Homo-oligomer: A and B are copies of this chain.
Amino acid sequence: MTTQEALFKYTLRLGDNSIILAQRLCEWTSKGPFLEEDLALTNIALDIFGRGKSLLEYAARVENKGRNEDHLAFHRTDRQFTNNLICEQDNGDYAKSMIRQALIDCFDLMLYTELSKSKDETLVGIAAKSIKEITYHKRHSFSWVDRFGNGTEESHERAQKALNELWRFTGEFFEMEEADELLIKEGIAVDVKSFQAKWEEEIKALFLKANLTLPENVFMQTGGRKGIHTEHLAYLLAEMQALPRMYPDAKW
């Protein structure tokens, strides 16, 4: 595997994580629990879409085969997407969406903080912008987890149920493969293992404060990196890609 191939895979995966999550979050637009929150979440989704666009743009540039970010987003099948399974999980209720978001925000802030020290200037630029955004996203999702966990009996139960459902998708955060190893050696990619303990510590503290219990002895799900997804992704893509698939030659 060449550095170019590894970098393509790496940026594609980061990009996939962003756009699939953003697409999910957009489903809340106009359906948020109240107006202020609806706007906040839509803005968060937009931040993440923006990051996904930059990453896929860069991936296409690295690949150098005439594809652009739109090709990558709208003309690949589910088996060609490499996002973590947690990003594609259905929104469920607001508790589930916020638990999912907190787990991801906590990871992403550490990931992009490390990535901002990369030797790759483009990734540094994307990371620098992302850190500011995710800092705010994380404050938002963490505060919701606390409110749900320490709220009513109903909100607590729903948050606990969501955590039980989603925890098995957190193992993928810390998977690494050949592309990662190669790029870490070159000082480009992030060694996610380096902050795994820190992530677990922060997450434990969050849920302890929220009076929620982390599930134990969970069998961690895997497959996203190899394009083996849960049933949710194909439906998400059918909707996300409907227009470009319908008009494949359309120009904006």
Contact = CB atoms under 8 A, between A and B. Distances in A.
Nearest to A75: B246
Nearest to A76: B246
Contacts of A234: 242
Contacts of A237: 242
Interface string A138-181: 00000000000000000000000000000000000000000000
A235 interface: yes
Interface residues of A, number: 11
A248 B245 CA distance: 9
Chain A residues touching B, majority SS: helix
A238 interface: yes
Nearest to A247: B77
Given A239-B239, A245-B246, A248-B248, 13 more contacts: A77-B246, A234-B242, A235-B239, A237-B242, A238-B238, A238-B239, A238-B242, A241-B242, A241-B245, A241-B246, A242-B242, A242-B245, A245-B245
16 contacts: A77-B246, A234-B242, A235-B239, A237-B242, A238-B238, A238-B239, A238-B242, A239-B239, A241-B242, A241-B245, A241-B246, A242-B242, A242-B245, A245-B245, A245-B246, A248-B248
